[in-house]
Amino acid sequence: MDKVFVQGLEVLTTIGVYEWEKGIKQKLRFDLEMGYDIAPAALDDDINKTLDYATLSKKVTQHAEQNHVELVETMAEQIAQLILAEFAVQSVKVRLTKPNAVANAAGVGVEIERFAN
């Protein structure tokens, strides 16, 4: 299966378990990888036959900005389900990083992979 990816998509949102986190915006970084057959688009050089990563990125950004959760695990699952529901992908891998969440670490986060039914 071909892969379409979006790397380093940064979104400011409210996320966190601690009370001080609930009143501030923090950066999340999404790395997304979708299983998608790009052959028809490549054959015809037609954007209408491929996965529009600009539209996908916009929907992910809007969701993350508008849906405040406590856990990166919850956000990663929501984003995976959003992509599977709204785009004709066979699989999605979401790597979600919360930069600077832990002292002396560039970031912490989760990586999940989900498949279309």
Beta-sheet strands, E only, within 1-117:
3-13, 26-35, 91-99, 107-115
CA dihedral sign, ordered 114, 34, 78, 24: positive
Active site residue 27: no
Q: Pick the catalytic residue from 49, 59, 93, 98.
A: 98
Confirm if 54 and 9 have CB atoms less than 8 A apart. no
Which of the residues are catalytic?
A: 98
